[in-house]
Structure 1
Amino acid sequence: MRTQGLARRLLTTFAATAAATVLLTGHAASEPARVDWPAAVQQLRQAAIGNLDAERAVDLLLDDPRVETATREAALPAQPFQVPAESTIGRGGGPGLYGNGLALSVDGFRFAFFGGPGTIAPNQTGARLDVVWLNLSNGRSGTEQFTEHMDVIADTTIRTRVIDPGPGMVVAAVYGNLWHRWPVPVSPQNPDGFAYQRGDITIPSLGAIYN
Structure 2
Amino acid sequence: MHRVRSIRLAAAGAVAALVVLGGGPSVAEEPAAVDWTSAVQQLRKAATGNAAATAAIDRLLAAKDLPSTKRAALPAQPFQYPAQSDIGRGSGPGVYGSGIALGMDGFRFGFFGGPGTISPNQAGAKLEVIWYNVSNGRSATDLLIEHQDVPVDTTIRTKVLDTGPGMIVAAVYGSLWHRWSVPVSEANPDGYQYQLGVISVPSFGAVYN
Q: TM-score range by the shorter chain?
A: 0.7 to 0.9
TM-score by length of 1: 0.85
Q: 3-state SS of the aligned residue for 2:65? A: helix
What is residue 109 of structure 1 aligned with on the other side?
Answer: 107
Separation of aligned partners in 1, 2:75 and 2:105: 14
What is residue 44 of structure 1 aligned with on the other side?
Answer: 43
Richer in helix (by share): 1
What is residue 160 of structure 2 aligned with on the other side?
Answer: 162
What is residue 8 of structure 2 aligned with on the other side?
Answer: none
Separation of aligned partners in 2, 1:110 and 1:77: 9
The equivalences for 1:44-193 within 5 A come to 44-67=43-66, 69-76=67-74, 79-193=77-191
TM-score by length of 2: 0.86
How far residue 17 of structure 1 moved from its aligned partner, in angstroms, is 6.0
How far residue 132 of structure 1 moved from its aligned partner, in angstroms, is 0.2
Amino acid aligned to 1:66 = D
Could you report, residue by residue, the CA deviation over 1:97-140 in whole angstroms, capped at 9, with x for unpaired residues? 10010001110000000011000001101100000000011100
Separation of aligned partners in 2, 1:109 and 1:195: 32
How far residue 77 of structure 1 moved from its aligned partner, in angstroms, is 5.3
8 Å Cα contact 1:119/1:156 also seen in 2: yes
The aligned length equals 190
Separation of aligned partners in 1, 2:70 and 2:201: 20
Separation of aligned partners in 1, 2:44 and 2:85: 21
How far residue 174 of structure 1 moved from its aligned partner, in angstroms, is 0.2
RMSD (Å) for aligned C-alpha atoms? 2.0
Q: Kindly report structure 1 stretches of 4+ aligned residues shifted beyond 3 Å.
A: 75-78
Q: 3-state SS of the aligned residue for 1:148? A: coil
Q: 3-state SS of the aligned residue for 1:125? A: coil
Q: 3-state SS of the aligned residue for 1:182? A: strand
How far residue 15 of structure 1 moved from its aligned partner, in angstroms, is 4.7
8 Å Cα contact 1:127/1:176 also seen in 2: yes
What is residue 23 of structure 1 aligned with on the other side?
Answer: none
Could you report, residue by residue, the CA deviation over 1:170-203 in whole angstroms, capped at 9, with x for unpaired residues? 0000000000000101111111110000000011
Separation of aligned partners in 2, 1:63 and 1:184: 38
What is residue 16 of structure 1 aligned with on the other side?
Answer: 16
Q: 3-state SS of the aligned residue for 1:73? A: coil
8 Å Cα contact 1:103/1:110 also seen in 2: yes
Unaligned runs of 5+ in 2: 1-12, 20-26
What is residue 3 of structure 2 aligned with on the other side?
Answer: none
